[in-house]
Amino acid sequence: MSACPDLDVLRSELQERGLRRAELADDPFEQFRRWFDFATEVGLHEPEAMIVSSVGDDGMPSSRHVLLRGLDHGFVFFTNYTSHKGRELEARPVAAICFPWNLLARQVRVEGTVERVTAAESDDYFTTRPRGSQIGAWASDQSEVLDGRASLEARWAEAEARFDGVDVPRPPHWGGFRVRPQRIEFWQGRPSRLHDRFRYSVDPSVDGGWRIERLSP
């Protein structure tokens, strides 16, 4: 596509066309890549932004936006392991993800188990981050209470001085998580709220390992 179309017009076209079973890839990761690449191509702002929900010790869910940084046999993102979400995901290694591509009347939902990525994967990604973000990973006790912004800026200045003139190493408390999906749902908005919803579920008895079902809107 040579030019970014008007997203309002494109949204209407997608809603009118809908989503049919025959159009779906047999593999949900391939289907996700198709939708993700399309969202990127038409200029959707930050299609990699996703909502990750975890569960705390008290059974309460909590959600936040993070950025998708890898897609292989799972959805990969990076964070501080000692943050609120990091502690919850370590204690209860399950998560839900939502990609809210509202301007395209599309949504992708993921539910699955959580694991840390390897240290090598975290190291490799950390080297690609801007230096300021690398220093910030050392300076911020993510999710902890601060007595004021001045304290945070002082910690940042301290870390900046510590690594002056040298490469910033990855902090041991910082790295990636991978969400391995058990279910992935693709939602396409339609007129009159008669939306199209298709769910992929892990099923070893099915060719390809995924069962595909249409859900009522």
* Structural domains of the chain sorted by starting position, each given as residue range(s) with its CATH number in brackets: 7-126+173-215 (2.30.110.10), 128-166 (no CATH)
Q: Has 33 been annotated as catalytic?
A: no
Closest C-alpha to 53, from 115, 116, 107, 95: 95
Q: Using a pLDDT cut of 70, give the percent of the chain over it.
A: 98
**In this structure, are residues 96 and 179 in contact, taking their beta carbons and an 8 Å threshold?**
no
The pTM assigned to this predicted structure is: 0.92
Active-site option among 34, 193, 199, 214: 193
Question: pLDDT digits over 2-56, tens only?
Answer: 445 699 999 999 999 999 999 999 999 999 999 999 999 999 999 999 999 999 9
Higher pLDDT, 67 or 145: 67
> Does the structure show a pLDDT above 70 at 139?
yes
> Does the structure show a pLDDT above 60 at 214?
yes
Q: What are phi and psi of 37, to 5 degrees?
A: -65, -40
pLDDT in the model for residue 2? 42
